[in-house]
């Protein structure tokens, strides 16, 4: 090759190399992915506690020492059955004393009643005897109430679900010693934020997760929504009915997701690609901003309702300074 032609070839190679270098220097390397199809679920989240549908708490109405426990966990009890008794020696003695006094005064009134029309007893003496008897009756009723407050009875037919306290222990009126109810059916009682409660309806399906069953997603239905909310916690009580045979147990905590909307074949884009209500896509080696309407989103995926057809190359984690029409070098995600 003549020296002149050799020089032209070298210059040409240098120019091409410079152009390639300039292109790669100007181009921005981005990672892209194509949107996928899959389920999208809009849900209202809350936490709650598993409890029986029918149950009641029972505790002492006054302070005292436990002297007798007559029902234990698992026992079936009838309504008004005696569950436990506090020390009532003094109260019982008081009732006996007042009952005897009331009987004497009642007999006295009974004796004077036929004598009054005959003039054998004065009206003032008779009225005094009647008044004293009424006072004795009132005192006896009050003493009986005091005695009743030292005895805990079941408010319903059911099973003793839990029993606390031991004989000899001193308890107060703020304590609960018995939980009585039917072991089935069960429900989850949860507090739903007041901002979410308008989306909750009776009969909606509920997905339930519990720490005791980490690999299971359980189901229930919204059975009750309290008409009045809690103005302090800004929440509304929602009760979720559980199916027969549920593995959840009374007292367990549970996370609930009330299903508001389900889409089985939704268009999904990576959540990290969404910036200010838009996605950046790579088309013909250039960056283009596409405004989209979104639906359900979690930490990984966002549902695209409008704006994409599904075959676009969506730029993952677009740089903040990305501009319309910027030249791109395309990379696929690792492992694709």
What mean pLDDT comes out for the span 143-170?
A: 95
CATH 3.90.1150.10 assigned to 44-54+183-263: no
Q: Where does the chain hold its CATH 2.40.50.100 domain(s)? A: 60-86+152-181
CATH 2.40.420.20 assigned to 27-38+264-331: yes
Check pLDDT > 50 for residue 6.
yes
Tokens coding 318? 């677009």
Residues 187-215: pLDDT tens digits? 999 999 999 999 999 999 999 999 999 99
Q: Where does the chain hold its CATH 1.10.287 domain(s)? A: 88-149
The residue among 310, 336, 330 whose CA lies nearest residue 35 is: 310
Q: Where does the chain hold its CATH 2.40.30.170 domain(s)? A: 44-54+183-263
Query: Which fold, 60-86+152-181?
Result: OB fold (Dihydrolipoamide Acetyltransferase, E2P) (2.40.50)
CA distance linking residue 208 with residue 45, whole number of Å: 10
Tokens coding 132? 């004293």
Residues 14-64: pLDDT tens digits? 444 444 444 444 678 889 988 989 888 889 999 999 999 999 999 999 999
Residue bearing the bigger pLDDT, 120 or 256: 256
Q: Where does the chain hold its CATH 2.40.420.20 domain(s)? A: 27-38+264-331
Pick the CATH number of 88-149 from 1.10.1060, 3.40.50, 2.40.50, 1.10.287: 1.10.287
Element (H, E) at 127: helix 123-148
The residue behind tokens 């008004």 is: 80
Q: Measured between alpha carbons, how far apart are the two ends of the chain, in Å?
A: 48
């Amino acid at each position: 090759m003549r020296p002149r032609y050799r020089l032209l070839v070298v210059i040409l190679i240098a120019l091409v190399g410079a152009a390639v270098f300039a292109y790669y220097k100007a181009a921005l390397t981005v990672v892209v992915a194509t949107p996928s199809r899959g389920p999208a679920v809009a849900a209202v989240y809350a936490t709650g506690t598993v409890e029986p549908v029918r149950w009641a708490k029972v505790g002492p109405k006054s302070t005292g020492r436990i002297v007798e426990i007559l029902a234990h966990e698992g026992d079936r009890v009838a309504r008004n059955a005696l569950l436990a008794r506090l020390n009532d020696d003094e109260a019982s003695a008081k009732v006996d004393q007042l009952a005897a006094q009331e009987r004497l005064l009642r007999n006295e009134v009974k004796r004077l009643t036929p004598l009054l029309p005959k003039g054998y007893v004065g009206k003032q003496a008779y009225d005094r005897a009647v008044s004293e008897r009424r006072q004795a009756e009132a005192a006896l009723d009050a003493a009986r109430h005091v005695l009743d407050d030292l005895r805990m009875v079941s408010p319903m037919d059911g099973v003793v679900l839990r029993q606390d306290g031991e004989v000899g222990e001193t308890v107060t009126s703020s304590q609960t010693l018995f939980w009585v109810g039917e072991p089935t059916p069960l429900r989850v009682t949860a507090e739903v934020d007041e901002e979410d409660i308008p989306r909750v309806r009776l009969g909606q399906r509920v997905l339930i997760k519990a720490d005791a069953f980490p690999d299971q997603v359980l189901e229930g239905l919204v059975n009750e929504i309290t008409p009045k909310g809690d103005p302090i916690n800004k929440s509304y009580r929602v009760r979720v009915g559980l199916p027969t045979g549920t593995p959840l147990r009374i007292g367990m905590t549970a996370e609930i997701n009330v299903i508001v909307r389900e889409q089985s074949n939704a268009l999904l884009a990576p959540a990290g690609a969404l910036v200010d209500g838009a996605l950046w896509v790579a088309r013909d080696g250039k960056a283009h901003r596409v405004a989209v309407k979104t639906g359900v989103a979690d930490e990984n995926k966002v549902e695209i309702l409008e704006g994409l057809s599904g075959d676009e190359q969506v730029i993952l984690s677009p740089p903040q300074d990305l501009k319309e029409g910027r030249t791109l070098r395309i990379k696929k995600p690792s492992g694709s």
